[in-house]
């Protein structure tokens, strides 16, 4: 039995999550959001129900939540991780998201509640940590390993055997060359091409990518 889903958050990423869940045939009841100005609005044909207090109307065993919070990097841990972990501690379970237009090898290993958006490709041997987002059209090549809560933005390309730590953001259209290692909380700017290892906790920009202070 597939349980109905409520999406936490009602911004742009939440709309993409709703669209993917609906395309996959899920029963989506609506959204929650902390911003009262969003309550009562309709997004992708679904209502913004209120804040998290509306969850009290449901049994935990009869509902799944989906994480509708996106992220642009630079926060450790990311807001989306903190919100999900708080709700999980209250006994709620989060589901993953897989748009039917995502191409995902059966030989890839997917952590809990990963989000695979339209047109993304995940190749054999790839490993995605819990809570990762592989956004629209992003590519995770063979044997690449992506740490928990990392976000590969639209059209990012992570080549074979790359190792990316937790809570990283690989910006839109960026490429990480094969075998490169990026430490936790690295933010790769949009369009960058990363060809060397980086210890993490900073921003990489440009082609070839350099730490923010050197690239500017």
Ligand X SMILES: CC(=O)SCCNC(=O)CCNC(=O)[C@H](O)C(C)(C)COP(=O)(O)OP(=O)(O)OC[C@H]1O[C@@H](n2cnc3c(N)ncnc32)[C@H](O)[C@@H]1OP(=O)(O)O
Give yes or no for a cis peptide into 208 (omega within 30° of 0): yes
Yes or no: say if 37 and 20 are a contact pair by the CB < 8 Å rule: no
126 or 168, CB closer to ligand X? 168
Residue 171 contacts ligand X per CB under 6 A: yes
Task: Tell me the CA end-to-end span of the chain in Å, nearest whole number.
Answer: 53
Known catalytic residue at 142 = yes
The CA distance from 80 to 173, in Å, is 22
Residue 14 contacts ligand X per CB under 6 A: no
**Would you give the binding string for ligand X spanning residues 61-100, x where CB under 6 A is met?**
-----------x----------------------------
The distance of closest approach from Cβ of residue 17 to ligand X in the complex, given in angstroms and rounded to an integer, is: 11
Rg, Å, the chain Cα set: 17
The distance of closest approach from Cβ of residue 162 to ligand X in the complex, given in angstroms and rounded to an integer, is: 17
Residue from 20, 189, 198, 200 in contact with ligand X (CB under 6 A): 189
The CA distance from 36 to 83, in Å, is 17
The CA distance from 66 to 3, in Å, is 12
49 or 97, CB closer to ligand X? 97
The residue annotated as part of the active site, out of 13, 142, 151, 169, is 142
Q: What is the DSSP string of 12-52?
A: HHHHHHHHHHHHTT--EEEEE-S-GGGTT-EETTEEEEESG
The CA distance from 152 to 141, in Å, is 12
Residue 185 contacts ligand X per CB under 6 A: no
Q: Which residues contact 199 (CB under 8 A, 6 or more apart)?
A: 183
Yes or no: say if 153 and 174 are a contact pair by the CB < 8 Å rule: yes
Residue from 138, 168, 187, 194 in contact with ligand X (CB under 6 A): 187
> ∠ at Cα 176 (174, 182), nearest 5°?
115
Span 190-209, contacts to ligand X by CB under 6 A: 190-191, 203, 205-206
Residue from 78, 154, 165, 200 in contact with ligand X (CB under 6 A): 154
22 or 190, CB closer to ligand X? 190
Closest residue by beta carbon to ligand X: 189
Residue 108 contacts ligand X per CB under 6 A: no
Residues within the interface to ligand X (CB under 6 A): 72, 135, 153-154, 171-172, 187, 189-191, 203, 205-206
Q: Which residues are catalytic?
A: 142
């Amino acid at each position: 039995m597939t349980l109905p889903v409520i999406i936490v958050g009602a911004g742009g990423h939440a709309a993409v999550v709703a669209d993917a869940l609906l395309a996959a045939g899920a029963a989506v009841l609506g959204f929650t959001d902390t911003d009262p100005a969003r309550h009562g609005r309709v997004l992708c044909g679904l209502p913004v129900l209120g804040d998290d207090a509306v969850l009290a109307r449901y049994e935990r065993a009869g509902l799944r939540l989906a994480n509708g919070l996106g992220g642009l990097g630079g926060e450790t841990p990311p807001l989306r991780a903190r919100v999900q972990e708080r709700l999980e501690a209250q006994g709620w379970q989060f589901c993953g998201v897989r748009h039917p237009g995502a191409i995902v090898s059966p030989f890839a290993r997917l952590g809990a509640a990963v989000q695979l958006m339209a047109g993304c490709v995940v190749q054999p041997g790839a490993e995605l940590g819990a809570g990762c987002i592989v956004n629209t059209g992003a590519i995770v090549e063979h044997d690449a390993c992506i740490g928990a809560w990392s976000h590969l933005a639209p059209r990012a390309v992570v080549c074979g055997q790359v190792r990316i730590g937790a809570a990283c953001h690989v910006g839109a259209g960026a490429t990480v060359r094969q075998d490169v290692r990026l430490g936790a909380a690295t933010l790769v700017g949009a369009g960058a091409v990363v060809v060397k290892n980086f210890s993490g906790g900073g921003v990489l920009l440009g082609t070839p990518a350099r730490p923010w202070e050197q690239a500017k």
